[in-house]
Chain A
Amino acid sequence: MEHTIQTTMTLNGVAVTRPIPARQHLVDFLREEMGLTGSHVGCEHGVCGACTLRVDGRIVRGCLMLAVQANGRKVDTIEGLSDSGELADLQRAFHEHNALQCGFCTPGMLMAAQDLVASRPQATRDEIRDHLSGNYCRCTGYHAIVDAVEEVLISRRGARK
């Protein structure tokens, strides 16, 4: 028997109300019901980071949160943050450094990178690696990702001066 719960969340700035099966995790809900396929499923046990999303301003694993737990909360996905322009400098840096190849880890990686850049503006290369240590990338070997994030940190620091 499928137990559904009427759930309301603010999704990319828009209020959304749906009856959601209690067992459905947040990233499946976003992908299957809301057509937001930019967040990806890589492991469903919280290790790979492909599903990284933002809930109430903090990055979380979308596969480790029940969609019904997003009730009353603010959810931001890669699509929303792309359209708002919040990720624009990171996306440009990633592009120019080829910090993505297949792109499957990229939305989650950008979420984690944005979290770092916003919360640790003085981060070193080692600290960048540390903060991204929960996001698996098989294609790039991480070096270009670190380069791209470092460039954004430097440029945001410069912009603040």
Chain B
Amino acid sequence: MKAPSFAYAKPATLAEVFDLLERHGDGAKLLAGGQSLIPSLNMRLSSPGVLVDITGVTGLAGIKVDGDTVRIGALTTHAEIERSPEISRHLPLLAQAVKQVAHVAIRNVGTFGGSVALADPAAEYPACCVALDATFVLASRNGERRVPARQFFKGIYATELRPGEVLVAGELKATGAGYRSAFLELARRVGDYAIVGVAAHAKVGGGKLADVRLAFLGAGDRAMLAANAAAAVDGKAYGPDVVKAAQDALAKDLAPPADLYHSSATKLHLARVLTGRALAALAA
């Protein structure tokens, strides 16, 4: 399984990256951590003419807290997120989720931006970003634009990224007082892609859950925000009836595609189970 031949460039600035993307068009692929791209090359699933290695571009890594915004540079590795005190303190949902990403050796190299830009429906960060209503910063020759996560993911491996654009950062609102997070996923083995997972976030107080967000991974062609299930719980006193209402309402939010081992019905069932467990974790 040897990759096909390709050229390789490692620009030092974003301007050079844009040049290369313009010059090569579809024939260029961006290489960040490579943990998803390189397997696909080894399996000859794609045949780019040139790999543009952006890991040499300065300013794209690092976690910065500015007021109540946490900016995660696209080249921040999963391991850096896992180790980050800022993420622990301000984005506990992400801190929980990152532990589920693959294995240590992959986390040391794979990046936040790479995972978001790949948009695998079973990936952890897209669901977290959708739950937290994050914003992605996309840069091009023409400048920067910001796209909400809830609009960014369009389908399997499909995003808002236009040709010539590079995802440079994610901006997330620091978790406020009274808010709690729970990230739960079901996988046959530690580190596998989730069968189904949920990124849950809500304001908890007085036995009630408010501003509830439930974003599912592995339950659609992209991270799915379960608005009906959240509405069933929002502002209500936490209890078994309310949980059941949310689980029932989930059928309006999710029509999960079957995978190799699980039918659509099984996935929906598991999503319901995770809903119950996530709500319990939030309310605990």
Please give the residue numbers on chain A whose beta carbons come within 8 Å of chain B beta carbons, in ascending order. 1-3, 5, 21-25, 28, 44-46, 49, 52, 58-61, 63-66, 68-69, 71, 112, 115, 130-131, 133-134
Q: B109 to A25, Cβ gap below 8 A?
A: no
Task: Please report whether the interface of chain B is mostly helix, strand, loop or mixed according to DSSP.
Answer: loop
Q: Are B55 and A25 in contact (CB under 8 A)?
A: no
Tell me the bound Cα distance from A133 to B100 in angstroms. 12
Check A60–B109 contact: CB distance below 8 A: yes
Interface residues of B (CB under 8 A from A): 1-8, 10, 31, 34-35, 38-39, 41-43, 51, 53, 55, 79, 102-106, 108-109, 189-191
Nearest-neighbour CB distance to chain B for A17, whole angstroms, equals 16
- 15 CB < 8 A contacts A-B: A2-B5, A25-B42, A46-B38, A49-B103, A58-B79, A59-B104, A60-B109, A61-B109, A63-B38, A65-B38, A66-B38, A68-B8, A69-B55, A133-B103, A134-B103
| Bound Cα distance A69, B52 (Å) | 11
Question: When the two chains form their complex, are residues A112 and B104 in contact, meaning their CB atoms are under 8 A apart?
Answer: yes
Q: What secondary structure prevails in chain A residues at the interface with B?
A: mixed
Would A44 and B34 count as touching, CB distance under 8 A?
no
**Pairwise interchain contact B108-A64, C-beta atoms closer than 8 A:** no
Nearest-CB distance from B193 to chain A (Å)? 11
- Contact call B8/A61, Cβ cutoff below 8 A: no
Supposing A58-B79, A65-B34 touch, asked if A23 and B4 sit within 8 A by C-beta, the answer is yes
**Is there an interface contact between A1 and B5, defined as CB atoms closer than 8 Å?**
yes
The minimal Cβ–Cβ distance linking A142 to chain B, given in whole angstroms, is: 12
Whether A44 contacts B1 in the complex (CB less than 8 A), given A115-B104, A133-B189, comes out as yes
Contacts of A44 in B (CB 8 A): 1, 39, 42-43
Contact present for A61 and B105 (CB under 8 Å): yes
Q: Which 10 interchain pairs have the tightest Cβ spacing?
A: A134-B103, A22-B8, A45-B39, A133-B190, A44-B1, A23-B3, A58-B108, A3-B7, A44-B42, A64-B38
